[in-house]
Every structure is written in C-alpha cells, then in structure tokens.
Amino acid sequence: MTSTLWILTQGAAVSLFLAFVGAIGGTAFALLLNVAAFSKIGLLRGFYHTYIYFARGIPLLVQALLIFYALPAFGILIGPLTAGGLVLTLYIGAMFAEVFRGGVLAIPRTLWDSTRSLGLPPASVLRKVVVPLVLRYTLPSYINVCVLTIKASSVLSVISVWELTLAAREIVERTLDVFPVMIAASCFYFVMCFSIDRLGRHVEHRLALKGFSGERP
C-alpha cells in the first residue's frame, strides 16, 4: 500500500504542477484575450467571442485530443506534458477571460463617467481604477476557476499525460484493487481542491475586513 501511496503522491505532484502551469498561463492568456475583448477593433472583439464560443462549447477532452493529434500532423513535436500544459492554458484561459471580462463589465457606469470627467489618462485609469476594482470583484470566481484547473488536469490522463488520474488507473489495471486506490486518489484531489477553496475564502475574508471590495464586510 505504501508504494501505491508513494506513486499516487508523485502523480498528485505532477497534477499540481500542471494545474499551476495552467493557472499562470491561463491568467496571462486571459489578460491578452481581454485586450481583444474590449478593443475598438470590431474584428478583435469578434475573434474574442468566437474563441470563447469554441473553447467553452467543445469538451476539454476533445480539445486535448485535437491538439494532441493535430500538432504532430503540422510538424510540431512536443511531449504529452507540454501538450497538456498547452491545452490547459487554452481552456482555462478562456474561463479566466470571461471572469475578468465580467469584472470589467461590473464597474458601474458612473465610475467610468467619473474617470472621464476627471480627465484621467488611460494608463492611470487602468492602473488606479480598473485593475484594483476587477481584482476585487473577481477574486471568488478566480479561485473557483483555480479549483477547476486541478480537476481539468485529470482529463489530460487520456492523452497519456502521467499525472494522478493516470497513475491511479495504471495501478487499478495492474492490481485490480479498485476501491482503495480510487478512494485514495480522490482524497488527494479533495485535499488539493478543498485547500485552495478554503485558502481563497480566507484571503477574501481578511481583505474584506479592510474594505477591499468596497462593501460592508
């Protein structure tokens, strides 16, 4: 059993790493997408909405399979882990993008009017008004998507990325010891997801006490 647990732990580490890459990459990608989403160029806005439609309408598994099989066909040869990271970035990036976009849209119109009437230059508007407010509005949803990232990493097992789910499956196929192994793997995921969720809530709570979100705590 201990060797099983050790293997599962290693798998969990890989899952965590993948989720981390997906979250960071996804956030960066989402910021880029938001530039397109709010661009004055209609074509860019159209591209944003089209991309979101595709990324959210196609199941993650199918996206993963597409990228996994399509890249070699175009001569791009990358290992499963890199492919997995790429898939996650594209998929989770779309989710973060919608979260951020929702945050920007949540800013009351009079605040936009106020920044305009004060004659604030665009850089200052972004830095002093938009970014702080969007951060405050979107923190809960952001944490939600982070948890989702960990769960999404399990799908990558199907394109032979070795992580916790694949590790568990391999052990089960070898030893037929289904329940203990699967339950153990579930525990690992549960601890990871639950911790991130709790941590997020804790951070939210602490920041609310300082008037972080501009609402009564």
Element (H, E) at 112: helix 109-117
The distance of Cα 134 from the centroid of its chain, to the nearest Å, equals 17
Nearest to 99 by CA among 138, 57, 148, 151: 138
Residue of 53, 126, 135 whose CA lies nearest to 100: 135
Q: How far is the CB of 4 from other proteins (least distance, A)?
A: 15
Site string for other proteins, 61-90 (x = CB under 8 A): xxx-xx--xx-xx-----------------
Residue 81 neighbours by CB distance under 10 Å: 17
Check binding of 99 to other proteins (CB under 8 A): no
Number of other residues whose CB lies within 10 A of the CB of residue 185: 23
Please give the angle made by the CA atoms of 115, 116 and 120, to the nearest 5 degrees.
65
Binders of other proteins among 181-200, rule CB under 8 A?
182-183, 185-186, 189-190, 193-194, 197
How far apart CA 109 and CA 127 sit, in angstroms, is 18
User: Roughly what angle, to the nearest 10 degrees, separates helices 2-37 and 178-208?
Assistant: 40
| Residue whose CB is less far from other proteins, 33 or 167 | 167
CB of 50 to other proteins, least distance (A): 11
Q: Which stretch binds other proteins (CB under 8 A): 2-10, 33-41, 50-58, 77-85?
A: 50-58
58 binds other proteins (CB under 8 A): yes
Count residues near other proteins (CB under 8 A): 63
Q: Which of 1, 2, 42, 57 binds other proteins (CB under 8 A)?
A: 57
Binding stretches for other proteins (CB under 8 A): 53-54, 57-63, 65-66, 69-70, 72-73, 108, 110-111, 113-114, 116-121, 124, 128-129, 132-133, 136, 147, 150-155, 157-158, 165, 168-169, 172, 176, 178-179, 182-183, 185-186, 189-190, 193-194, 197, 211-216
